[in-house]
């Protein structure tokens, strides 16, 4: 039986040569095809950079968020694992023509995307959980201060099977088959060193009719994110990484759909149709909390008022929010199982996400939502060049 290290060595070799960008003309043809079918699509950033892709960029229509348990035997195998993930991500985001299969061996690519893998249509974002910083790999002394596993908050209904993990992987693209192709490829090349703990697929609705996309409660989601100029203060850590919070939140949509629009708007603090705060006209309008100290127009218990009071004292609590809708069908009782994959990025989880979460304790909206999973992850700095790999500074 092939042992884990042998498998990883083979995977790493395949990672370097498994998909070769052998034809500039072919790559250009693929890009022209993508442009023809999606005229408004813009090319995504390249793989290399100070920061990983998938954070600064606006969310793409399709995503999957995956948590892994690392089963690598030792630190050397963990390093091989991170090199393999890096090489596969580099290849998959670049695109090209997969190498041909051997005479009797399996094909080097699943073929889901056809004979050529399109480039420029995939974002890959990788993080590590607090559980990786244990004694297995000698990383205990390198765990960032204040970085822990996600706790259970008041109003949570967490399922252990849907929580935490040693590694996080988010794959985002314009098309679902691109996401699935990348996940199968990475899972294939990391088998024996990491196994999936949980996985959830999500989507971003198109703007309807314009502006910020809506979640499955029918409200626009993520209107008041920090400006890019504030990312250095609120999002990035000193080495180019960030801290990711994932919260899997079921929405009790059948219950929600039975209450009036006016009540829904009071719970959120915004108009459902326009996304404007209840004291404004446009979604970009800033709510005038100071002019409404008793909450006559926007209730003191509304979601937007608790989440972001817009005071000098709470300015540093702001997070970069990225939300994706999910639909998992129906549960055992025949109720719709759908909701939100809430993700957010910040420099420091306790002073940002957790500060917001504590303000939201017992908000009226908790009657209509059930957080059931997720986790905290350290998003690693970006890969600077062809010689670099994800987690290099951590493992060196």
Angle, CA 245 vertex, CA 244 and CA 251 arms, to 5°: 145
Q: What is the pLDDT of residues 305-323, one digit of tens each?
A: 999 999 999 999 999 999 9
Cα separation, 335 vs 318, in Å, equals 34
Exposure letters 282-316 (e unless 16+ CB within 10 A, then b): ebeeebebeebeeeebbbebbbbbbbbbeeeeeee
Do the beta carbons of residue 65 and residue 202 sit within 8 Å? yes
Q: What is the pLDDT of residues 325-337, one digit of tens each?
A: 999 999 999 999 9
Residue 351 or residue 38, greater confidence: 351
Mean pLDDT, rounded, of the chain: 91
Q: What is the pLDDT of residues 16-67, one digit of tens each?
A: 445 544 333 333 333 434 433 344 556 678 899 999 999 999 999 999 999 9
Do the beta carbons of residue 362 and residue 155 sit within 8 Å? yes
Q: Omega of the bond prior to 343 within 30 degrees of 0, cis?
A: no
pTM of the model: 0.91
Q: What is the DSSP letter of 274?
A: T
Domain extents in the chain: 1-396
Q: What is the pLDDT of residues 146-185, one digit of tens each?
A: 999 999 999 999 999 999 999 999 999 999 999 999 999 9
Residue 104: what pLDDT?
A: 78
Cα separation, 284 vs 62, in Å, equals 25
Count CB-CB contacts under 10 A for residue 64.
21
Cα separation, 261 vs 253, in Å, equals 13
């Amino acid at each position: 039986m092939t042992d884990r290290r042998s498998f990883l060595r083979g995977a790493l070799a395949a990672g370097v040569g498994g998909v070769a960008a052998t034809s500039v003309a072919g790559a250009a043809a693929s890009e022209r095809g993508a442009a023809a079918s999606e005229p408004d699509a813009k090319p995504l950033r390249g793989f290399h950079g100070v920061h990983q892709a998938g954070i600064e960029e606006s969310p793409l229509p399709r995503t999957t968020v995956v948590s892994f348990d690392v089963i690598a035997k030792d630190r050397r195998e963990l390093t091989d694992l991170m090199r393999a993930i890096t090489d596969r991500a580099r290849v998959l985001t670049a695109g090209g023509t997969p190498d041909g299969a051997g005479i009797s061996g399996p094909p080097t690519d699943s073929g889901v995307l056809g004979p050529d893998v399109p480039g420029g249509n995939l974002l890959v974002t990788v993080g590590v959980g607090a559980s990786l910083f244990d004694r297995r790999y000698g990383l205990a002394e390198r765990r960032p201060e204040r970085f822990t596993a996600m706790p259970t908050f008041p109003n949570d209904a967490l399922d252990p099977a849907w929580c935490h993990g040693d590694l996080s992987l988010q794959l985002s693209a314009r098309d679902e088959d691109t996401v699935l192709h990348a996940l199968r490829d990475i899972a294939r090349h990391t088998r024996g060193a990491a196994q999936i703990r949980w996985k959830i697929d999500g989507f971003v609705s198109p703007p309807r009719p314009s502006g910020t996309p809506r979640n499955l409660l029918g409200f626009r989601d993520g209107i008041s994110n920090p400006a890019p100029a504030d990312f250095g203060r609120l999002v990035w850590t000193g080495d180019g990484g960030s801290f990711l919070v994932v919260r899997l939140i079921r929405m009790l949509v059948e219950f929600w759909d039975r209450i009036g629009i006016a009540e829904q708007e009071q719970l959120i603090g915004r108009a459902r149709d326009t996304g404007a705060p209840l004291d404004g006209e446009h979604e970009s309008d800033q709510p005038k909390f100071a002019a409404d100290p008793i909450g006559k127009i926007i209730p003191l218990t509304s979601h937007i008022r608790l989440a972001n009071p817009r005071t000098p004292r709470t300015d540093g609590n702001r997070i970069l929010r990225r939300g994706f809708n999910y639909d998992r069908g129906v549960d055992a009782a025949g109720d719709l199982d759908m909701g939100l994959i809430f993700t957010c990025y910040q420099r420091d989880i306790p002073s940002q996400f957790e500060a917001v979460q504590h303000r939201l304790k017992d908000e009226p909206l908790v009657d209509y939502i059930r957080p059931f999973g997720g986790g905290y992850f350290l998003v690693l700095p970006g890969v600077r060049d062809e010689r670099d790999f994800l987690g290099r500074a951590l493992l060196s």
